[in-house]
Amino acid sequence: MDHLRTVPPRGLLLTRVRIVLNGIELIPETSLAVRPGEVVTIMGPSGSGKSSLLAYLCGTLDRAFQATGEIWVNGIDVTRLPIEERQIGILFQDDLLFPHMTVGENLLFAIPRAVRSRRERRELMRQALAEADLAGYEERDPATLSGGQRARVALMRTLLARPRAVLLDEPFSKLDEDLQTTIRQFVFGHVHAQELPTLLVTHAAEDAQAAGGPVLRVGRPAAGPPVEPFAAARSALSRIRPAAKPRHP
């Protein structure tokens, strides 16, 4: 599949990406360009390689898969860079907020170390909460939040990490139906406003329609038992523990 278009230096570019599992080609050789602020939707049956493609892009694809091809972000080849240097943010079906941290600490955790001032870090955290209509929630336990509130915190945490591209792995699928429209608007509004090239994986036509961008359909499901492409990443996230509580100024 070739959905390559001429793009400026800014944006997400996949060049001849191919993913195989157990000898079965999940993603045939594919080239794709996503412009700043654009959301490209990837649709296909379960097990067809949609989430595997996202895992390859952010550098967490399980070793059971074989993948080739280049990944470029804002004119930089990130294919062989470690996860933390790619600056690619991702939202999963689950919000993956750290239960041992407050809402504010979850957000502070994402802010790059280059922002050294504690006062500046806390101001960025409070601005993010205000933008999510959650001002004053920094000391709350994530377990006390509603599904919609958790989804907004998860997005703001992703954006506070200052990504150069964003991946969305069915982030609306576990929300109540009446919340999905609101959270779609919240997420897409932010990636458009920040001009972030975005890939969305979904089964829902409503998600693709709300995204408003091109749709890429991928093939058939692989034979054999399912393999979780993000298994290593989820395991690593579950083991994260802060050395100490953040000290407030």
Q: Is residue 77 part of a domain?
A: yes
Q: Is residue 149 part of a domain?
A: no
Give pLDDT tens digits along the chain (249 positions). 555 555 457 899 999 999 999 999 999 999 999 999 999 999 988 888 999 999 999 999 999 999 999 999 999 999 999 999 999 999 999 999 999 999 999 999 999 999 999 999 999 999 999 999 999 999 999 999 999 999 999 999 999 999 999 999 999 999 998 899 999 999 999 999 999 999 999 999 999 999 999 999 987 654 444 445 554 444 544 444 444 444 444
**pTM for the model:** 0.84
Conformation bin of residue 61: beta by default, left when phi > 0, alpha when psi is -120 to 50: beta
Q: Is residue 53 part of a domain?
A: yes
Is residue 36 within 8 Å of 9, Cβ to Cβ?
Answer: no
| Other CB atoms within 10 A of residue 74 CB | 16
Q: Is residue 92 part of a domain?
A: no
Gap between the Cα atoms of 70 and 80, Å rounded: 9
In Å, how far are 35, 49, 153, 184, 219 from 175, measured between CA atoms? 28, 23, 14, 10, 27
Domain that holds residue 78: 1-87+203-237
Q: Is residue 27 part of a domain?
A: yes
Q: Is residue 122 part of a domain?
A: no
Nearest to 67 by CA among 33, 12, 28, 13: 28
Q: Is residue 181 part of a domain?
A: no
Q: What is the greatest pairwise CA distance in the chain?
A: 55
Gap between the Cα atoms of 6 and 9, Å rounded: 10
User: How many domains, in total, are found in the chain?
Assistant: 1
Q: Is residue 246 part of a domain?
A: no
Q: What are the tens digits of pLDDT across the range 203-249?
A: 999 999 999 999 999 876 544 444 455 544 445 444 444 444 444 44
Helix (H, G, I), strand (E, B) or coil at 220: coil
Identify the CATH number of the domain in which residue 68 sits: 3.40.50
Gap between the Cα atoms of 122 and 65, Å rounded: 40
